[in-house]
Structure 1
Amino acid sequence: MAIISPRVCSPVDIYSTIRFSSTKIHARRQNWSNSCSLYTGSKYACVGFEPENNRNCSVCSSLVVTPTEEDLSISSEKKVYDVVLKQAALVKRKLSSTDLDFGPELLLPGTIPVLKEAYDRCGEVCEEYAKTFYLGTLLMTPERRRAIWAIYVWCRRTDELVDGPNASHITPSALDRWEGRLDDVFAGRPYDMFDAALSDTVARFPVDIQPFKDMIEGMRMDLKKSRYDNFDELYLYCYYVAGTVGLMSVPVMGIAPESKATTESVYNAALALGIANQLTNILRDVGEDARRGRIYLPQDELAQAGLSEEDIFKGKVTDRWRGFMKNQIKRARIFFEEAEKGVTELSQASRWPVWASLLLYRQILDEIEANDYNNFTKRAYVSKAKKLLALPVAYGKSLISPSSKKHSKVIKA
């Protein structure tokens, strides 16, 4: 389910219409090193397990990266980790979000009432299209709640450019104009009501523009790429379209004052959650993507499992497909496990919506299994009853205090 189908115009124009539609924020995936144990030296920022605790972690039986892809994987991993370090450093340089001194409201035509209405509209969008997450945001402080709504709306608007009703009319130059508009938003020159909310948010919190720009880069990839040779390519795409959301959100969510975790480890966990969610969306939407001519699955891993593109388009569940899917689900769950380490370190008032998102998305993997791995014609979804049951569990987890043990460094770029 997507939300806003804006007309992309030049940076000097204001969107003439804003309407709601139905789509979704899409998802993509990621590949492993040729070692079955993922540890501190892992190639992927946001996945780091100590060898002594994970000697039997067999996530990649048939998931192998060939030496000729090494340069690509290093550059992808380093690019992502460099952004993680930059975001963490930005928070360190400024006051933590729990101590931020919120300044005066952004001045716009109509001043404060207009800005309040802008945030209220963002909240309405969030409530309509992400009900469970919205419910969790109500436990946050008003400033954080509004900021998360503003970021959420911008991400959905951006996704709509390539996945919404007007996607066939979107060109690379249109995305360039959208990026120029983003620059104006960060410079305090909003174009419309939703922009105004985001402009105010980035002025109040230590939010950097790079993850926003990287998400737009992910949209550019969607315009020109519908196949991914291996998981290293997908890892970078997955960061662009989903991992970025975690990096945007941490400065707003805030890290608990009593947390002993490093800022970098919390950002890595946020990155892991975004990637885990994207992997889950991808596995859920295999059939839907195939009907649009897209295959967001690692081509080399499909070949190693004895599968081809034709098998995806035929949509027949076989033993080979089940084996392939088991490996993909195992990978996604590892990212969820890594993400859990960081959720507990967030400010207590911010934990519940993140826990709810994590628990509910992870249940989609269970539903894929329950459907006998038929993600061609059956859509895995979590029932309303299961969602309601997950909410008190998420709330209970949100009450757990941060660990006194420091996280291990996740990766050395």
Structure 2
Amino acid sequence: MLRGELNAADVLDPALRAAYARCRELNARDGKTYFLATRLLTPRQRPAVHALYGFARWADDIVDAPDPAISLDERGARLLRLDADLRAALRSGRSTHPVIAALADTAVRYAIDPQHFSDFMRSMRMDLTVAEYGTYEDLRDYMHGSAAVIGLQVLPVLGTVAPPDEAGPHAASLGIAFQLTNFLRDVGEDLDRHRIYLPQDLLAAHGVDRELLRWCRLHRRNDGRVRAAVRELAGTTREIYQHAARGVPMLYPVSRPCVETALLLYRGILDEIEATDCAVMHRRTVVPRGRKARALLPALARTAALRARRTPFPERRGALPGTVLP
């Protein structure tokens, strides 16, 4: 399957094929819901999406290295080296780094704005020094680089039937909604890393502070004040999903089933959080397999129908960001 995807994407160089394969491994290992949705893309699109996700995961693994012997200073130094290698690769279009090589190739093929990667690295550095965010606007500043730009990076791969400037805000909202969903699901795990991604003013409005969160985590208990704060942010996240969903018809038809399914699955995480009365402090919410299957099967049928009609897709090399198609 991987060989067919790389052939379809016109990735022929052996070293580059190995780089894309590594990115695909990272996506399959750590982004199970996301990886499942990418199966609905055309084989030609998948390597690029894996490259973008693989690089993001690589950087995130530096920030959250599981080995406690790796100091904060060392993590910062590794991020700086990664950033320098990335900038050099984006200038030259190549790299010997096992993940950056695929990313640089994808950036060239799809003419992705290099600023998106700079913004992403800025947010990764923030994770080393920022443990909480005072307001939602402060959090949005962080999420611009950690989530919104991911949607903007992927947009040229998906292709659009609307001007890119119109589709871009919806793609950015999709990235933010996904990340907020992860923040809500992972409150307890993030607290173990001494981070709180729920805005402090939102928590304070419900009488929640770090000590209460720690108590809930330690004693595996819920608290009504925490549940209320989670419920409010979940409502905000649903509104952002609504904005993101309005961008789906702006995508190239063959890309829509993938994004629709990702939306459905991630919103399903919110549903499960609310179904458990927002018990996020001591358990990681997942979407049941049956629900995943019910979301995936209709999307597979739509994808098969589009491919049966041999819906064309623009040539990748030299394509412009968010290529507008007839």
TM-score bin (small chain): 0.7 to 0.9
Unaligned runs of 5+ in 1: 1-101, 106-110, 401-413
Give the counterpart letter for 1:298 in structure 2: P
One-letter identity of the residue aligned with 1:177? R
Quote how far apart the aligned CAs of 1:294 are: 1.9
Secondary structure of the corresponding residue to residue 46 of structure 2: helix
2:127 is aligned to: 222
Q: Residues 323-338 of structure 1: matches in 2 within 5 Å?
A: 323-338=228-243
Task: Provide Cα deviations, 1:231-266, integer angstroms capped at 9, x if missing partner.
Answer: 11101111221112101110111113xxxx442231
What is the CA-CA distance between 1:354 and the residue it aligns to? 1.9
**Partner of residue 345, structure 1:** 250
Structure 2 residue identity aligned to 1:174: R
Aligned counterparts, 1:62-81, within 5 A: none
Q: What residue identity is the alignment partner of 1:176?
A: L
The aligned counterpart of 2:63 is 162
- SS across alignment from 1:294: coil
In the alignment, which residue of structure 2 is the partner of 1:98?
none
Write the mapping of 1:5-404 to structure 2, written as runs, cut at 5 A.
112-166=13-67, 168-169=70-71, 170-186=74-90, 187-256=92-161, 261-315=162-216, 316-395=221-300
Separation of aligned partners in 1, 2:34 and 2:196 = 29
Distance 1:249 1:328 in 2: 26
Deviations 1:187-246 (A, max 9, x none): 223023432222221121120111111111111111111011111110111122111210
Q: Secondary structure at the match of 2:247?
A: helix
> Taking structure 1 as reference, are residues 383 and 176 closer, same or farther at Cα in structure 2, changes over 3 Å only?
same
Percent of pairs with identical residues: 38
Please tell me the residue identity of whatever aligns with 1:283.
L
Partner letter of residue 172 of structure 1? G
Q: Is the 8 A contact 2:37 2:262 kept in 1?
A: no
Equivalent residue for 2:320? Answer: none
Name the CA distance, whole Å, in 2 between partners of 1:293 and 1:203: 38
Larger RCO, structure (CA 8 Å, separation 6 or more): 1
TM-score, length of structure 2 as denominator length: 0.81
Asked if the contact 2:177/2:241 (under 8 Å) is kept, the reply is yes
Query: Does the CA-based 8 Å contact 1:147-1:252 persist in structure 2?
Result: yes
| Cα distance in 2, alignment partners of residues 136 and 119 from structure 1 | 18
CA shift for structure 1 position 133: 3.7
Q: Any idea what SS the aligned residue of 2:83 has?
A: helix
CA offsets 1:275-298 (integer angstroms, 9 cap, x no match) = 111111111111122233222211
Partner of 2:311: none
Greater per-residue helix proportion = 2
Distance in 1 of aligned mates of 2:100 and 2:209 = 44
Q: What's the offset of the Cα at 1:182? A: 0.5
Deviation at 1:123, TM superposition (A): 2.8
Gaps of 5+ in 2: 1-7, 307-326
What is the SS of the residue equivalent to 1:143? coil
Shift of 1:134: 3.5
- Shift of residue 395 of structure 1? 4.8
CA distance in 2, matches of 1:132, 1:313: 28
Give me the whole-angstrom Cα distance separating, in 1, the residues matched to 2:246 and 2:255. 15
Q: Distance in 2 between matches of 1:280 and 1:214?
A: 21
Contact kept? 2:9, 2:44, Cα under 8 Å: no
Using the TM superposition, give the Cα deviation of residue 356 of structure 1 relative to its aligned residue in structure 2, in angstroms.
1.9
Compute the TM-score of the two structures, normalised by the length of structure 1. 0.65
Amino acid aligned to 1:291: D
Question: Could you list the per-position Cα deviations for residues 323-353 of structure 1 after superposition, in whole angstroms to 9, with x for gaps in the alignment?
Answer: 2222111001011111101122111222222
1:181, distance to aligned residue in structure 2 (A): 0.5
**SS at 2:246's partner residue?**
helix
